[in-house]
Amino acid sequence: MSPSLLLFIILAAMALAYHLGRKRAIGVAGGLKKINRLHSLPAYYGFYAALWVGLPTLLLLLFWAGLQDHILTALTLAELPAETMANLSEGQLSLLVSDIRNLASGNLMGREPSAEVEVAAAHYLRLQGIANITLWTLVGAMALAGMAWAWQRTTPSFRARNRVESIVMILLILFSSIAILTTLGILLSVLFESIRFFQKVPWTEFLFGTQWSPQIALRAEQVGASGAFGAIPLFTGTLLVSFIAMLLAVPVGLLSAVYLAEYAPRAVRTWAKPVLEILAGIPTVVYGFFAALTVAPFMRGLGESVGLDIASESALAAGLVMGIMIIPFVSSLSEDVINAVPQSLRDGSYALGATQSETIRRVIFPAALPGIVGGVLLAVSRAIGETMIVVMAAGLAANLTANPFESVTTVTVQIVTLLTGDQEFDSAKTLAAFALGLTLFVVTLILNVIALHIVRKYREQYD
Amino acid sequence: MTMIVEASAVKPANLKADHLAQDQSTTTTVGEISSPNPRMVCRDINVWYNNNHAIKHVSLDIGKNEVIAMIGPSGCGKSTFLRCLNRMNDTIPAARVEGSITLDGQEIQDKGIDVVPLRARVGMVFQKPNPFPKSIYENIAYGPRIHGLTNSRAELDELVETSLQRAGLWKEVKDRLDAPGTGLSGGQQQRLCIARTLSVSPEVILMDEPCSALDPIATAIIEDLIDELRQQYTIAIVTHSMQQAARVSQRTAYFHLGDLVEVGTTDDIFNQPKHKLTEDYITGRFG
Amino acid sequence: MTNTATTGGARRSPQAIVEASLKRRYAAERRFRLLGAGAVALGLGFVLILFISIVSKGYTAFFQSYIELPVTFDAELIDPQGVLREGGLDETEIAQQLRSVNFLKLARDALRAEFPAVSGRTQRRELDALLSPGAPLQLRRMVTSDAAVIGTEQSVRLLADDDVDMFMKGRATPISRLDGAGVLTLEGDLEKIGGELVVRVTDDGLLPLLERARARLHDQADRLERQQAGLQRSRDAQTARLEQGGLGAEQTAEAEREAARNARDIARLETKIQALRAEAEGSDALLLGADAPSFLLRIKDGLIKLLALEASAARAELLVPPVSTAPAEAGTWETLELSIPEGARRLTDQQLAWVLRLQHEGLLSKRFNVPFFTNGTSREPELAGIAGAVLGSFYTLLLTLLFSFPIAVGAALYLEEFAPKNRITDLIEVNINNLAAVPSIVFGLLGLAVFINFFGVPRSTPLVAAMVLTLMTLPTIIIASRAALKSVPPSIREAALGVGASPLQTRLHHVLPLALPGMMTGTIIGMAQALGESAPLLMIGMIAFIVDIPQGFTDPATVLPVQIFLWADSPERGFVERTSAAIMVLLAFLIVMNLTAVLLRRRFERRW
Ligand SMILES: Nc1ncnc2c1ncn2[C@@H]1O[C@H](COP(=O)(O)OP(=O)(O)OP(=O)(O)O)[C@@H](O)[C@H]1O
Ligand SMILES: [Mg+2]
């Protein structure tokens, strides 16, 4: 009796309600011939009934699905002997809970469950059964009540269309606000955990410390003293990789944009542009693979042949591949911006006897500069937030260095490492990932806001 | 002369299609197309935009140190013709130009002719002021810089100053040469563009409705300027204002639907037009 | 006075100056243009390199090596009571019956039967390693599906181990052949595998081999010398820095330590180089160690490995016994040089000899790799397939589509058509644009903190992945949908409103259908983005090792890009080609999706 089955049943009930509502409307109007007595088309009465059956039940289902586990767990734990509970640390408790749930859902466990767990699991199962029956009954009752309500309200003068439309409008507004909710959710989730992190580790330590080794900081009181959560090496590492990426992407992207916008013959344009844009559609994990298995060894070999010691997880390889990924981004943004420069400026320059490249370099570039800067800032924000390439091709060692041949680590790499290993709940190590996430979010947000603002202002200038 | 100005002060009326159809056959130009002392000589110019025949068999001389005005109803090809004179039509992919145009006896229509020095010799001022998004100084210095006309900063400063003076803008901007050119008023911007053109010392200046975006005072300033510039430059100006044509030009050419209908001294065109179309247009009688 | 530049006496006219500058300026023009073309070419080059590198690494994964062996399905071993052969059992009962059957032994016995000369634990274990751990599963499956095979001998294509597979695909070591000159005789025990032999060849027939081996030693020494030179350079740089002074005490100490370490390494390399050169120049028999290329002699279907080499004789080890002991004429024997030294290979010379033998007999061959498309992942490369990940991606994408399309269309409809222009809608607008540029990993954090930890959505499931991806792709789809709505001319709305439709009816009946193709294009692009996304999914547990193929939205699953990430991280060589092949599959899906979007746009593009 899974929630998805119930979901389907509700959907079916909605379809039925639509049908009944429509029938009823035709009925109260006195047959198909007289439906113009109705305020709205019969279908709207159907929709009205369907909404009354569907919306409350769906909402209930949603809440139930979200809360059932919490409540059942709490009830089960309350049944456990008090002395067992008292001795448990938070970690052990969560282990116990997962044991109970696993056993209850019939999952195989590595070890034999203790008697206590078995009892608890049985209790849990019993509660689950009760909860299920309650849910089904409630859903059924609400659906019937909804239908009855709609049935009773269906009269010729009832403004069904307006009702349905205002409900739809409310839905649309809800949908639109999801964007804001998302931002809020991101902000709150990272902020909340970050605050807990900064209770354990002072934020000055985090922002200005030069030592990053979260793995050895196991004991909380050790943290501040050892300075193991100094994120400076991560910031410099991120900047180094992004810088290398931009060093490749900006000139190549910009020059290809210029070439495609100003010089390229039609045939070249129609072919080269989409092919270049393929680069933008390739998943980053593919770039990561390419960086780790093709570019990095190549760089290493190249370094060896000229006597340079290039690490196999060098910032250079990761940065270059990230640069390749960003080329189409820079190039298409720049092309838009260059195309937005009005023809009259070009004409003015040509009329003075300027060559095409003089016009581009001395008139179009300066005119397009704000837009290009905006685009580059967006690209930087993307480079900073890029994860897979660096996870796969950059290292884990937090070296504080500006040498591109060495291995560095980045903010995103550390977030992934901290959250994909064995997670200790509430440890500074896990929380540190959220602090890094907060930093990342704030920095990219600022970059994006500035960049989007610049680009918008630029567009307005020439519109 | 005053009388004509008054006569044409009547609102230019609209063209009527059937009226035009009757006079479609105008292929020979009325009046003297050649000039005794020509700077530019155009013979049998045809321009197409894709399949749109925008200029039809136009022949016209532009004399040294004269101001020649081009008038005619909207869409008749004045701008197109003007843009032929410094090959600005090259920048429009759809445009195709045929015929012969010489500048001081040298053919400029040939494929092999380099447009860069040509445009340095035949400058152009556009309908809408188009200062570069740079400082006033840099706007003027742009041309000399790309062509390498000056050897030192002092020379460049001087060239900027003389150009601005000739365009009558110096007094107004001499204290804010570093301010952006786009921050000037419309009339000032247009004079800035004229100064920019002057800075590369062209022989011929083409002006495409230079005053259409300006108020009467700014227009008057530019008209005075044109009169002054005539001493040194050859000027071809497109205008929709017949008063303006009468005020600034010595010769006037009347275009109609891609044909050069009539050309003659400005006095003759305005006082005793020979062609009916010209007369209709001058007197504002269109149907 | 027609010249404004005539300020300082005898100056050239501007025209002359312009003419004179042309050559320089056109050169600059050409350079600039070339630079632009170069940039485009570079970008295109990257596309090409990327694709070539992936395809060249991955195409081999579509084939898999199998060893075809006669397997005896011993009834005593499999079904002593005969219940299976009686039939009438259901699947679980069959599984129960077969639970304790040692299919591994069956598979191994079949292989050992091919090489009866193999003896001793070590040799057997080496031989067994040629079979995949998946081989017994194959046999179990055969018995499960058809009990009739019990008690019979069947020719079965058993999965070869990934190391064998890599060798078959030419990724273990390059092999070069050298025809034998002179008559070759073998002396010694020609039955005992691993026994020592003496090889004699008339007319200094081994001389070419000897020269080759020497050249290899010199190559090796050259390589070490290059390495040494690199160390020397970095040491010089360090000395220079130390001499320059100005370093802190700690830095100085560090630099000195480094320099000392370098000096030691340089010296160590030096002795190695000396030894190699001496060996190569020496007149004694050339010893072929584990860090030198291996030389195998193939003679009368047997294989022997050379240990020490002279011009007309050699010491050797027997790997596969030859069928006859008679001397071999010139041209009937050959040498195989395996250029990767035994020490740097996964397969020993002995194992390779068996593999070569199997290959020679036509028992070892490559066929289309069906398991790659039907299996879930595995720790063994030859067993790992993409079916689980593809299905996980499918479920995830389906849910993402179901969530994001209605929400995005609704939001776009409201924002574009109904929303009043005020601060709140402005804020939403800015918000959406910003969300489109928020790093994807941040959405993963959101998913972890809110969906999993707060709402208790089960981790590692398509459901939670779809929720995260929905939030991530919403901005893309909303922006595209709004553009589509914007392109519907107002006249349509006016017309509909004019005949008395309500504002909502107007939008739903008239505007939406016209904007739908554009919205769908945006949705497909958003889905493509979601299909390729992996970073946020790492945060919400899609990184778990899940062998089972997911059956629904709440089963633990992984998705294709994450699978690629996991495989790329695996050390086994065999995973490289599988990763590349999985990438090819992923790219194929993406290309299809993007092409659909392009076609859709072409088909429905309307100019109003
Ligand atoms: N870039 C272009 N592409 C295609 N056709 C053009 C282009 N520019 C002008 N035309 C066409 O060529 C003809 C002449 O245009 P032109 O701009 O020369 O007229 P005009 O006399 O300058 O008009 P106006 O007084 O309105 O400026 C018109 O029919 C116009 O539609
Ligand atoms: Mg015009």
Task: Report yes or no on C82 lying in a domain.
Answer: yes
Do A241 and A357 reside in the same domain of the chain? yes
Please determine, for residue C11, whether its predicted confidence score (pLDDT) is greater than 70: no
- How far apart are the CA of A345 and the centre of ligand 1, in A? 19
Which two tokens mark A347? 């004409």
Do A326 and A451 reside in the same domain of the chain? yes
End position of a domain, from candidates A158, A181, A202: A158
Task: Report yes or no on A177 lying in a domain.
Answer: no
Which two tokens mark A266? 């039609």
- pLDDT, one tens digit per residue, over C566-582 is 999 888 888 999 999 99
- pLDDT, one tens digit per residue, over A370-404 is 889 999 999 999 999 999 999 999 888 888 888 88
Do A302 and A407 reside in the same domain of the chain? yes
Do A268 and A402 reside in the same domain of the chain? yes
Distance CA C372, CA C584 (A): 13
Q: Decide which of B6 and C81 is more confident.
A: C81
Task: Give the C-alpha distances (Å, rounded to integers) separating C89 from B217, C73, C77, C144, C145.
Answer: 106, 19, 19, 10, 11
pTM score, whole prediction: 0.86
Task: Report yes or no on A193 lying in a domain.
Answer: no
Please determine, for residue C214, whether its predicted confidence score (pLDDT) is greater than 80: yes
Do C415 and C436 reside in the same domain of the chain? yes
Do A235 and A114 reside in the same domain of the chain? no
Do C156 and C196 reside in the same domain of the chain? no
- Interface A-B, measured as beta-carbon pairs within 8 A, has a size of 70
Q: Which chain A residue lies closest to C592 (C-alpha atoms)?
A: A281
Do C503 and C410 reside in the same domain of the chain? yes
* Residue B265 host element (H or E): strand B259-265
Ligand with an atom nearest the CA of residue B53: 1
Is the ipTM beyond the 0.85 threshold?
yes
Question: Is B142 exposed, middle or buried (CB count within 10 Å of its CB: 0-12, 13-18, 19+)?
Answer: buried
Do A136 and A222 reside in the same domain of the chain? no
Do A138 and A221 reside in the same domain of the chain? no
Q: Which atom of ligand 1 is nearest to the CA of B72?
A: 21
Do C108 and C214 reside in the same domain of the chain? no
Distance CA C538, CA C529 (A): 16
Contact: A252, C39; criterion CB under 8 Å: yes
User: How many CB atoms are located within 10 Å of the residue C554 CB?
Assistant: 18
Pairing assessment for the beta strands B204-208 and B234-238 based on DSSP bridges: parallel
Sequence letter at residue C553: F
Q: Decide which of A285 and C4 is more confident.
A: A285
Distance CA A141, CA A331 (A): 59
Contact: C534, A175; criterion CB under 8 Å: no
Do A216 and A151 reside in the same domain of the chain? no
User: How many CB atoms are located within 10 Å of the residue A30 CB?
Assistant: 12
Instruction: Give the pLDDT band (50/70/90) at residue A23.
Output: confident
Would you say A266 and B94 are in contact if contact means Cβ atoms under 8 Å apart? no
What angle separates helix A3-29 from helix A42-79, to the nearest 10 degrees? 150
Sequence letter at residue B86: N
Vertex C389 angle, CA C383 and C395, to 5°: 150
End position of a domain, from candidates C168, C200, C231: C168
Task: Report yes or no on C358 lying in a domain.
Answer: no
**Buried b / exposed e along C368-395 (16+ C-beta atoms within 10 A):** ebebbeebbbbebbbbbbbbbbbbbbbb
DSSP-derived letter for residue B275 is S
Task: Report yes or no on C440 lying in a domain.
Answer: yes
Sequence letter at residue A109: M
- How far apart are the CA of A344 and the centre of ligand 1, in A? 15
Percent of chain A with pLDDT over 90: 33
The domain tally of chain A equals 2
Distance CA C22, CA C75 (A): 94
Task: Report yes or no on C149 lying in a domain.
Answer: yes
- pLDDT, one tens digit per residue, over C275-295 is 888 888 877 778 887 778 888
Q: Which atom of ligand 1 is nearest to the CA of B209?
A: 27
Q: Which chain A residue lies closest to C568 (C-alpha atoms)?
A: A289
Task: Report yes or no on C41 lying in a domain.
Answer: no
Ligand with an atom nearest the CA of residue B257: 1
Partners for C (CB, 8 Å, 3+ pairs)? A, B
The rounded mean pLDDT for chain C is 87
Query: What's the CATH code of the domain at A438?
Result: 1.10.3720.10
Q: Which chain B residue lies closest to C2 (C-alpha atoms)?
A: B232
Task: Report yes or no on A187 lying in a domain.
Answer: no
Please determine, for residue A309, whether its predicted confidence score (pLDDT) is greater than 80: no
- pLDDT, one tens digit per residue, over B122-159 is 999 998 899 998 899 999 999 999 998 888 999 999 99
**CB-based contacts of C306, cutoff 8 Å, min separation 6:** C199, C209, C288, C294, C295, C296, C297, C314, C315, C316
User: How many CB atoms are located within 10 Å of the residue A74 CB?
Assistant: 10
Pairing assessment for the beta strands C302-309 and C286-287 based on DSSP bridges: antiparallel
Contact: C15, B114; criterion CB under 8 Å: no
Task: Report yes or no on C222 lying in a domain.
Answer: yes
Please determine, for residue B16, whether its predicted confidence score (pLDDT) is greater than 50: no
pLDDT at position A224 is 42
Q: Decide which of A233 and C1 is more confident.
A: A233
Do C187 and C269 reside in the same domain of the chain? yes
Partners for A (CB, 8 Å, 3+ pairs)? B, C
Which two tokens mark C295? 């030389």
Atom 17 in ligand 1: which residue has the minimum CA distance?
B79
* Residue B91 contacts A where some CB pair is shorter than 8 Å: yes
Pairing assessment for the beta strands B67-71 and B251-256 based on DSSP bridges: parallel
Query: Of chain C residues 323-362, which have a CB less than 8 A from chain A?
Result: none
Instruction: Give the pLDDT band (50/70/90) at residue C607.
Output: low
Contact: B196, A349; criterion CB under 8 Å: no
pLDDT at position C4 is 44
Task: Report yes or no on C376 lying in a domain.
Answer: no
Task: Report yes or no on A141 lying in a domain.
Answer: yes
Query: Of chain C residues 57-116, which have a CB less than 8 A from chain B?
Result: none
Do A295 and A151 reside in the same domain of the chain? no
* Residue C17 contacts B where some CB pair is shorter than 8 Å: yes
Do C149 and C223 reside in the same domain of the chain? no
Query: Of chain C residues 14-43, which have a CB less than 8 A from chain A?
Result: 18, 25-26, 28-29, 32-33, 35-40, 42-43
Please tell me the total number of residues recorded for chain C in this structure: 608
DSSP-derived letter for residue C208 is H
Of the candidates A178, A307, A309, the beta carbon closest to that of C407 is on: A178
**How far away is chain B from the Cα of A274, in angstroms, using its nearest Cα?**
23
Atom 14 in ligand 1: which residue has the minimum CA distance?
B77
Alpha helices of A263-410 — where are they, by DSSP H?
266-281, 284-290, 296-305, 315-340, 343-351, 356-359, 365-385, 388-393
Percent of chain B with pLDDT over 70: 90
Please determine, for residue C7, whether its predicted confidence score (pLDDT) is greater than 70: no
Contact: C3, B163; criterion CB under 8 Å: no
- How far apart are the CA of B79 and the centre of ligand 1, in A? 7
- How far apart are the CA of B242 and the centre of ligand 2, in A? 15
Q: Decide which of C455 and B245 is more confident.
A: B245
Query: Of chain C residues 175-234, which have a CB less than 8 A from chain A?
Result: 226-227, 229-230, 233-234
Q: Give me the residues near ligand 2 (ion), CB cutoff below 5 Å.
A: B 79
Residue identified by tokens 């540029």 is: C437
Of the candidates B121, B146, B163, the beta carbon closest to that of C15 is on: B121
Distance CA A160, CA A174 (A): 21
Q: Which chain C residue lies closest to B150 (C-alpha atoms)?
A: C5
Residues in chain C closer than 8 A to B198 (CB atoms): 4
Instruction: Give the pLDDT band (50/70/90) at residue A1.
Output: very low
pLDDT at position A426 is 67
Task: Give the C-alpha distances (Å, rounded to integers) separating A21 from A142, A149, A419.
Answer: 16, 11, 51
Sequence letter at residue B144: P
Distance CA A103, CA A112 (A): 10
Distance CA A303, CA A324 (A): 20
Atom 7 in ligand 1: which residue has the minimum CA distance?
B49
Do C284 and C327 reside in the same domain of the chain? yes
Partners for B (CB, 8 Å, 3+ pairs)? A, C
* Segments forming the whole domain that contains residue A106: 3-158
What is the best residue among B14, B48, B49 to mutate for testing ligand 1's pocket, by most ligand atoms within 8 Å of CB? B49
Instruction: Give the pLDDT band (50/70/90) at residue A2.
Output: low
Please determine, for residue A226, whether its predicted confidence score (pLDDT) is greater than 60: no
Residues in chain C closer than 8 A to B150 (CB atoms): 5
φ and ψ at residue C297, rounded to 5 degrees:
-100, 130
Task: Report yes or no on A89 lying in a domain.
Answer: yes
Please determine, for residue C589, whether its predicted confidence score (pLDDT) is greater than 90: yes
pLDDT at position C457 is 82
Task: Report yes or no on A44 lying in a domain.
Answer: yes
Please determine, for residue A222, whether its predicted confidence score (pLDDT) is greater than 50: no
Please determine, for residue A66, whether its predicted confidence score (pLDDT) is greater than 80: no
Instruction: Give the pLDDT band (50/70/90) at residue B20.
Output: very low
The domain tally of chain C equals 3
Do C195 and C156 reside in the same domain of the chain? no
Domains along the sequence of chain B with CATH? 5-282 (3.40.50.300)
Instruction: Give the pLDDT band (50/70/90) at residue C508.
Output: confident
Task: Report yes or no on A179 lying in a domain.
Answer: no
Residues in chain A closer than 8 A to B128 (CB atoms): 344
Question: Is B123 exposed, middle or buried (CB count within 10 Å of its CB: 0-12, 13-18, 19+)?
Answer: buried
Atom 22 in ligand 1: which residue has the minimum CA distance?
B79
Percent of chain C with pLDDT over 70: 97
Do C156 and C189 reside in the same domain of the chain? no
Do C332 and C385 reside in the same domain of the chain? no
- Return the bridge partners of A229, or none: A212
The rounded mean pLDDT for chain A is 85
φ and ψ at residue A202, rounded to 5 degrees:
-60, 145
Of the candidates C8, C14, C25, the beta carbon closest to that of B201 is on: C14
Task: Give the C-alpha distances (Å, rounded to integers) separating C232 from A303, C227, C241.
Answer: 14, 9, 14
What is the best residue among B78, B82, B124 to mutate for testing ligand 1's pocket, by most ligand atoms within 8 Å of CB? B78
Q: How far is CA A109 from the centre of its chain?
A: 33
Task: Report yes or no on A265 lying in a domain.
Answer: yes
Which two tokens mark B69? 């005005």
Instruction: Give the pLDDT band (50/70/90) at residue B109.
Output: confident
Query: Of chain C residues 486-525, which have a CB less than 8 A from chain A?
Result: 502, 504
Please determine, for residue B3, whether its predicted confidence score (pLDDT) is greater than 70: no
Do C583 and C481 reside in the same domain of the chain? yes
Of the candidates C418, C434, C561, the beta carbon closest to that of A452 is on: C434
pLDDT at position C311 is 82
- pLDDT, one tens digit per residue, over C474-502 is 999 999 999 999 988 888 888 888 887 88
- pLDDT, one tens digit per residue, over A116-126 is 777 888 888 88
Task: Report yes or no on C369 lying in a domain.
Answer: no
**CB-based contacts of A101, cutoff 8 Å, min separation 6:** A69, A73, A124
Do C478 and C516 reside in the same domain of the chain? yes
* Segments forming the whole domain that contains residue C544: 381-604
- pLDDT, one tens digit per residue, over C76-85 is 888 888 888 8
End position of a domain, from candidates C317, C344, C371: C344
